[in-house]
Amino acid sequence: MKKLIENFPDQLRESLDIANAAKLSAKHNIHNIVVTGLGGSGIGGTIISELVTDSCKVPVLVNKDYFLPAYVGPNTLVIISSYSGNTEETLEAMQQALNKKAQIVCITSGGKVEESAKQNNLDVIKIPGGNPPRSCIGYSLVQLIKVFVHNGFAPASLLTDVKNSIALLEKENSNITTQAKHIAQILLNKIPVIYSLGSCEGVSVRFRQQINENSKMLCWHHVFPEMNHNELVGWTTKNDDISVITFRTSFDYKRTQKRYEVCKPVFEKYSSGVTDITAKGNSKVEEFMYLINIGDWISVYIAELRGIDPVEVNIIDHLKKELSKFNA
């Protein structure tokens, strides 16, 4: 896993080559977009939905279930994101998209998604397989950007921003890993509480997923300002087992920043401490990639400190085995 995280800039570089070579048909009269996928395949959908908030003129839904909403139809662009190509929830949603005659693009390394796409003459962007899906966010996210740009729902500059992210991550690699090691020590034997300010919740979700899968720990996340209307009231009891992590960006809204400034002393009073992680970069894409990378490093360093294998996901394998019996 460490090698995969270390190679993240190279993955982005290869992803751009794949995106540039992708041959996509034109989509017409799109009224809404649905990105359907789960786990390491679905998180790219959450992040792209935030990256295009200022450019996309139609609603974007990220679907993480078996079922598509009733409004999906011929004027819907459905993007199927399944790294393995065999995610059962995504396959069922794909069949529904076909039944509803939606306009479909698939992003996958193969499997049944690729087979179905070929049978139904659908657009497919094929990405390299064979690794844990969570380690391949660069492949799926860049292809999502490509699909949005190709169909006029995002500016082409986002792909340039990905290229600039590569240089940023390579330049900052030493600083990122040093900071990640320090934060891993802080989070060891703690319950991380992850907060983001406004429009980068997807990065918080990604970090939670990496703590779950790589570090084999439970944690939770929330986002400002929504947490001010519910979760904040829960901060009433001292708990030194909790450690707060925040993701900060240059595009945090000033009123949201003020909310956090008011709340931070509360978190410090009732937890073991608060650690702010501030993104670097000259664009939203660069800042997102920076935060994703440092979060990934933190999760694998925690795994090292705990003496566990970050790649192992035996409990998920058990779930799939039991579900296969149910299907039979």
All domains of the chain in start order, with CATH: 2-155 (3.40.50.10490), 172-306 (3.40.50.10490)
Contacts of 198 (CB under 8 A, 6+ apart): 223, 224, 225, 251, 252, 253, 256
pLDDT for 328 equals 56
Does residue 96 contact residue 67 with C-beta atoms inside 8 Å?
Answer: yes
Residue 89 reports pLDDT greater than 70: yes
In terms of DSSP bridges, do strands 274-278 and 123-126 run parallel, antiparallel, or are they unpaired? unpaired
Q: Any catalytic annotation for residue 222?
A: no
> Residues of the chain with pLDDT > 90: what percent?
91
pLDDT for 148 equals 98
pLDDT in tens, 191-242: 999 999 988 999 999 999 999 999 999 999 999 999 999 999 999 999 999 9
pLDDT for 326 equals 84
Does residue 141 contact residue 44 with C-beta atoms inside 8 Å?
Answer: yes
pLDDT, averaged across the chain: 96
Q: Any catalytic annotation for residue 150?
A: no
Rg (CA), the chain: 20
pLDDT in tens, 127-166: 999 898 888 999 999 999 999 999 999 999 999 999 999 9
* Catalytic position from the list 3, 23, 57, 229: 229
Q: Any catalytic annotation for residue 318?
A: no
pLDDT for 199 equals 81
The more confident residue out of 61 and 317 is 61
- pLDDT confidence bin for 323, thresholds 50/70/90: confident
pTM: 0.95
pLDDT for 232 equals 98
For the residues 299-324, what does the mean pLDDT come to? 91
For the residues 96-100, what does the mean pLDDT come to? 98
For the residues 174-202, what does the mean pLDDT come to? 96
> Residues of the chain with pLDDT > 70: what percent?
100
For the residues 175-185, what does the mean pLDDT come to? 98
For the residues 115-132, what does the mean pLDDT come to? 95
| DSSP label at residue 123 | E
pLDDT in tens, 249-275: 999 999 999 999 999 999 999 999 999
DSSP of 3-62, one letter per residue?
HHHHTHHHHHHHHHHHHHH---PPP-S--EEEEE--HHHHHHHHHHHHHTTTT--S-EEE
The more confident residue out of 323 and 267 is 267
* Catalytic position from the list 50, 89, 201, 213: 213
Residue 19 reports pLDDT greater than 90: yes
pLDDT in tens, 33-67: 999 999 988 999 999 999 999 999 999 999 999 99
Question: Residue 130, exposed/middle/buried by CB under 10 A (0-12, 13-18, 19+)?
Answer: exposed
* Catalytic position from the list 31, 182, 258, 320: 320
